[in-house]
Structure 1
Amino acid sequence: MTTVAIDDLAAALGAVGDLVADIRQDQWSALTPCPEWQVRDLVNHMVIGSRLFTGILRGAAAAAPGALDPKAGEKLGDDPASTHGEAAGDLLAAFRQPGVLESTFEVPVGTVPGIVAVHLRVVEELVHGWDLARATGQQLRFPDEIVERALEFTRGKLADVPPDRSPFGPPQPVPDDAPPVDRLAAILGRRVTPRF
């Protein structure tokens, strides 16, 4: 199961990397489903998150409050796709270190085992990938089985997140037959409207 979680993260990071690479120049300032975030803010937040977790997994201090705020500092530079890819590669390498999945870490939502940290990052990539696809009109390419595992994890763990540390909005209604990624987005507070 641990290898599956890292494989899921690799697939999610790769799919999001494809989305980032295909953002048109005129889309970087487009609004996203994340309140008050433009596309550039969203991608910046994802890079910050990958780097933050990489540092934590390699022994850096726990995250300070507000560490994931994309407005706190620009990290993308002139080549956002390469920056995202580098951060994603570093994150995967950090998770693949011996003993990481069995260790515990202080991450923004609390103290968790490494395997839970992997799942948190998978969910983060899937939901923000959904946000990014919505904002830029791109097609998502997340395998349903990966999203279903993320949904199962989220349903099981969401109640454990302290309310004062939750980065999510309240669950939103979504049809039972909606695609898995729409159901995941809705459970984490996104309003899902049909796409035509």
Structure 2
Amino acid sequence: MTTAVSVDHLARAHGPVGDLIAAIRPEQWKAPTPCAEWDVRGVVEHLVGMDLVFAAMIEGGGPMPERGADRLGDDPVRAYRASSAALETAFSAPGVLQRSFHSPMGSATGAERLQIRLYDLLAHGWDLAQATGIPLRLPEDLAGRSLAFAEVQLPSQNRTGRFAEPRPVEATAPAIDRLAAFLGRPVPWQR
């Protein structure tokens, strides 16, 4: 499995996660998720916030989004789609994937930043699907690529925050479940 990545991979992940978010019913926004500290709205807020943080990092020159700000307002779907478009535009600029970027997260190429954003997006999309029961219709190859990258990138890093130590999962499970388990989610997840 190759881990080469392109902006098309990001668009192919943003779309299904956006479709899932658009299907969330009003009573589901406060439902718990596999990220114990976030409910459904908190996970969507994180997705929007990280899209905007990565876009600001890639574009440079502008301020980082304000921490703790409500980015969803009364239209979380619109906020998600706008942040997705901003991130895809930032990563589409000529030469971005080859350039090196320095931030508090360390130094990495644009391609590496894109892969990091992609596995975070997929894992949190999985969280939303578990919390809401809404199917997440991701292309299998995206999760497989993200898992291959995460397996190389994460073992050498301290796993704090949203990603815990890997959990057991069947080797024949779909790639998205194996990615979720690798990032510390119990598969299957139980409320």
Counterpart Cα distance in 2 of 1:144 and 1:172: 20
Deviations 1:143-174 (A, max 9, x none): 1111111111111111233x176641000011
Match of 2:141 in 1: 145
| Equivalent residue in structure 2 for 1:182, among 174, 177, 181 | 177
Task: Specify whether residues 183 and 10 from structure 1 end up closer, same or farther in structure 2 by C-alpha distance, changes over 3 A only.
Answer: same
| Equivalent residue in structure 2 for 1:81, among 73, 77, 81 | 77
- 2:106 partner letter: G
**Given that residues 2 and 115 in structure 1 are in contact (C-alpha distance below 8 angstroms), is that contact kept between their aligned partners in structure 2?**
no
Match of 1:14 in 2: 15
Match of 1:126 in 2: 122
Match of 2:156 in 1: 160
After superposition, residues 3-152 of structure 1 pair within 5 angstroms as: 4-60=5-61, 67=67, 72-107=68-103, 109-152=105-148
Shift of 1:53: 0.5
Shift of 1:194: 7.2
Q: Decide which moves more: 137-146 or 106-115.
A: 106-115
CA RMSD of aligned residues (A): 2.4
TM-score for the superposition, normalised by structure 1: 0.88
- Greater relative CO (CA pairs within 8 A, separation 6+): 2
Could you tell me which runs of 5 or more consecutive residues in structure 2 were left unpaired when the two chains were aligned: none
**Given that residues 109 and 166 in structure 1 are in contact (C-alpha distance below 8 angstroms), is that contact kept between their aligned partners in structure 2?**
no
Counterpart Cα distance in 1 of 2:173 and 2:55: 33
Counterpart Cα distance in 1 of 2:123 and 2:19: 15
Could you tell me which runs of 5 or more consecutive residues in structure 1 were left unpaired when the two chains were aligned: none
Match of 1:170 in 2: 165
**Given that residues 3 and 146 in structure 2 are in contact (C-alpha distance below 8 angstroms), is that contact kept between their aligned partners in structure 1?**
no
Deviations 1:124-149 (A, max 9, x none): 11100000000111111011111111
| Percent of residue pairs identical | 41
TM-score for the superposition, normalised by structure 2: 0.90
Task: Specify whether residues 152 and 62 from structure 1 end up closer, same or farther in structure 2 by C-alpha distance, changes over 3 A only.
Answer: farther
Deviations 1:36-90 (A, max 9, x none): 21101110010000000000111147969x95xxxx2211011100110000000
Task: Specify whether residues 23 and 51 from structure 1 end up closer, same or farther in structure 2 by C-alpha distance, changes over 3 A only.
Answer: same
Counterpart Cα distance in 2 of 1:145 and 1:108: 30
Aligned residues between the structures = 189
Instruction: Please state which structure has a larger fraction of its residues in helix.
Output: 1
Deviations 1:80-109 (A, max 9, x none): 001100000000000000111111113553
**Given that residues 58 and 90 in structure 2 are in contact (C-alpha distance below 8 angstroms), is that contact kept between their aligned partners in structure 1?**
yes
